[in-house]
Amino acid sequence: MTDTPRNPGNGGETHQLAVGDTPVLTTNHGMPVSDNQNSLKSGARGPTLLEDFVLREKIFHFDHERIPERIVHARGSGAHGFFEATDDISDLSKAAVFTKGEKTEVFVRFSTVAGGAGSVDTPRDVRGFAVKMYTREGNWDLVGNNIPVFFIQDAIKFPDLVHAVKMEADRGYPQAGSAHDTFWDWASLMPESTHMLMWAMSDRTLPRSFRTMEGFGVHTFRLVNAEGKSSFVKFHWKPKLGLQSTIWDEALKLQAADNDYHRRDLFEAIDTGAFPEWELGIQVFDQAFAEAQPYDVLDATKLIPEEDVPVRIIGRMVLDRNVDNFFAETEQVAFLPTNIVPGIDFSNDPLLQGRLFSYLDTQKSRLGTTNFHQIPINTPRCPFGNFQRDGLMQTMVPKGRANYEPNSLAAHGEEGGPRESKAGFATTNAATGPDEQGDKLRVRAGTFADHYSQARLFYKSQTENEQAHIASSFVFELSKVGLLDQVPPRMVANLRNVDEDLAKRVADGLGIDLPEKAEAAKAPIDMPPSDALSIHKNMKSTLEGRQIGILIADGTDADELDALIEAIEAAEAKAVIVAPKVGGATLSDGDKFQADGQLAGTPSQLFDAVAILLSEDGCASLLKEAAAVDFVMNAFGHLKAIGATDAAQPLLDKAGVEPDEGITGIGDDFIEAAKKRFYAREPGVRMLA
Ligand code: HDE
Structural domain boundaries in the chain: 76-183+192-378, 455-536, 541-685
In the prediction, which pLDDT does 200 show?
Answer: 98
Residues 177/205, Cβ–Cβ less than 8 Å? no
Q: Per-residue pLDDT for 3 more than 60?
A: no
Q: How far apart are CA 75 and CA 164, in angstroms?
A: 18
Query: Which strands, in side-by-side order, build the sheet including 547-552?
Result: 597-598, 574-579, 547-552, 609-613, 642-644, 663-664
Please give the number of the atom of ligand 1 that sits closest to the Cα of 363: 13
- From the alpha carbon of 109, which atom of ligand 1 is closest? 11
Is 44 buried (19+), middle (13-18) or exposed (0-12) by CB count in 10 A? exposed
The pLDDT score that the predictor gives to residue 10 is 42
Q: What is the pLDDT, as a whole number, of residue 430? A: 66
The pLDDT of residue 352 is above 60: yes
Judged by DSSP in three states, 78 sits in strand
Q: Is 386 an annotated catalytic residue?
A: no
Asked if residues 244 and 238 have their Cβ atoms less than 8 Å apart, the reply is no
**Mean pLDDT computed over 237-266:** 97
Give me ligand 1 centre to Cα 338, in Å: 12
Sequence-separated (6 or more) residues with CB below 8 Å from residue 376 = 8, 328
ipTM of the complex: 0.98
What H or E segment, with its residue span, contains residue 289? helix 287-292
pLDDT > 90 fraction of the chain, expressed in percent and rounded? 94
Q: Of the listed 145, 339, 465, 497, which one is catalytic? A: 145
Q: Is the C-beta atom of 338 inside 6 A of ligand 1?
A: no
Q: Which helix (H) or strand (E) holds 231?
A: strand 230-239
Instruction: Report the length, in residues, of the chain.
Output: 689
Q: Take atom 29 of ligand 1 and give the residue whose Cα is closest.
A: 73
Please indicate whether residue 269, judged by its CB atom, sits closer than 6 Å to ligand 1: no
Going by the DSSP 8-state scheme, the letter that residue 516 receives in this structure is: P
**C-alpha of 363 from chain center:** 20
Residue 483 pLDDT grade (very low, low, confident, very high; cuts 50, 70, 90): confident
521-575 confidence digits (pLDDT tens): 999 999 999 999 999 999 999 999 999 999 999 999 999 999 999 999 999 999 9
Pick the CATH number of 76-183+192-378 from 1.10.10.10, 3.40.50.1370, 3.40.50.970, 2.40.180.10: 2.40.180.10
pLDDT at 294: 97
Q: Is the C-beta atom of 130 inside 6 A of ligand 1?
A: yes
For residues 199 and 21, the model is more confident at 199
Question: What residue type is 428 in one-letter code?
Answer: T
Confidence of residue 16 (pLDDT cuts 50, 70, 90): low
Measured between alpha carbons, how far is 152 from 351 in angstroms, rounded to an integer? Answer: 8
H/E element, 495: helix 487-498
Which of 335, 339, 364 to probe ligand 1 with, by most ligand atoms within 8 A of CB?
335
**Ligand 1 center to 71 CA (angstroms):** 9
Distance in Å, CA 358 to ligand 1 centroid: 8
> Which of 10-24, 68-82, 128-142, 372-386 has the least mean pLDDT?
10-24
Provide CB contacts within 8 A for 479, sequence distance 6+.
509, 510
Report residue 431's pLDDT band, with 50, 70 and 90 as the boundaries: low
3-state secondary structure of 536: helix
Residue 224 has pLDDT above 50, yes or no: yes
pLDDT-above-70 percentage for the chain: 97
pLDDT for position 11: 41
Residue type, 508: D
Q: Tell which atom from ligand 1 comes closest to the C-alpha of 159.
A: 41
Q: Is 73 considered catalytic here?
A: yes
Peptide bond before residue 406 is cis, with ω within 30 degrees of 0: yes
How far apart, in whole angstroms, are the C-alpha atoms of residue 523 and residue 365? 43
Burial of 485 (0-12, 13-18, 19+ CB in 10 A): exposed
* Selected catalytic residue, list 73, 262, 451, 536: 73
Question: What CATH number has the domain spanning 455-536?
Answer: 1.20.1370.20
Tens digit of each residue's pLDDT (9 = 90 or more) over 120-135 = 999 999 999 999 999 9
Average pLDDT over residues 230-255: 97
Mean of all residue pLDDT scores within the chain: 95
Q: For 668-689, write each residue's pLDDT tens digit.
A: 999 999 999 999 999 999 999 9
**Does residue 111 line the site of ligand 1, with CB under 6 A?**
yes
- Ligand 1 centroid–CA 353 distance in Å is 12
Taking the C-alpha atoms of residue 249 and residue 605, their distance in angstroms, rounded to an integer, is 9
Q: Is the CB of 73 under 6 A from ligand 1?
A: yes
**Average pLDDT value for residue range 265-293:** 97
Q: For every residue of 352-417, which 3-state class applies, written as one string?
A: HHHHHHHHHHHHHHHHCCCCHHHCHHHCCCCCCCCCCCCCCCCCCCCCCCCCCCCCCHHHHCCCCC
pLDDT digits (tens, 9 = 90+) for 561-600: 999 999 999 999 999 999 999 999 999 999 999 999 999 9
Cα–Cα dist 334/353, whole Å: 18
What dihedral angle (degrees, nearest 10) is formed by the CA atoms of 625, 627, 628, 631? 160
- Across the range 297-316, mean pLDDT stands at 98
For domain 541-685, the CATH class is: alpha beta
| pLDDT score, position 8 | 44
Please write the tens of the pLDDT for every residue from 59-84: 999 999 999 999 999 999 999 999 99
pLDDT at 620 over 90: yes
Q: For residue 316, how far is its CA from the centre of ligand 1 (angstroms)? A: 24
DSSP string, 133-199: EEEBTEEEEEEEESSSS-S-SSGGGHHHHHHHHSS-TTT----S---SHHHHHHHHT-GGGHHHHHH
| Res 434 pLDDT > 90 | no
Does ligand 1 come within 6 angstroms of the Cβ of 160?
A: no
Task: Spell out where 47-102 has E strands.
Answer: 76-85
Output the pLDDT for position 20.
83
The rounded Cα 324 to chain-centroid distance in angstroms is 20
Q: For atom 11 of ligand 1, which residue has the closest CA?
A: 109
For residue 343, with 0-12 CB atoms within 10 Å meaning exposed, 13-18 middle and 19 or more buried, which class applies? Answer: buried
Which atom of ligand 1 is found nearest the CA of 217? 32
Mean pLDDT calculated for residue range 203-220: 98
Q: Assign residue 523 a region: left if phi > 0, alpha if psi is -120 to 50, beta otherwise?
A: beta
User: Rg of the chain's alpha carbons, rounded to an integer?
Assistant: 28
SS3 assignment, position 277: strand
Instruction: For a ligand 1 pocket test, name from 67, 75, 111, 143 the mutation site with the most ligand atoms within 8 angstroms of its C-beta.
Output: 143
Q: Are 578 and 567 in contact (CB under 8 A)?
A: no
CB under 8 Å to 551, separation ≥6 — which residues?
Answer: 578, 579, 599, 610, 611, 612, 613, 614, 622, 628, 631
Q: Which amino acid is at 665?
A: G
Distance (Å, whole) CA 64 – CA 62: 5
To test the pocket of ligand 1, the residue of 67, 71, 72 to mutate (highest count of ligand atoms within 8 Å of its CB) is 72
CA distance 666 to 682: 23
β-sheet bridge partners, residue 145: 128, 216
Cβ-contact 313, 280 below 8 angstroms: yes
* Number of C-beta neighbours around residue 313 at 10 A: 14
| C-beta 155 within 6 A of ligand 1 | yes
CB 109 less than 6 A from any atom of ligand 1: yes
Q: Is the pLDDT of residue 47 over 70?
A: yes
- Beta strand 574-579 with 547-552: parallel, antiparallel or unpaired? parallel
The CA-CA-CA angle for residues 200, 204, 206, to 5°, reads 95
The 8-class DSSP code of residue 331 comes to: I
Strands 609-613 and 642-644: parallel
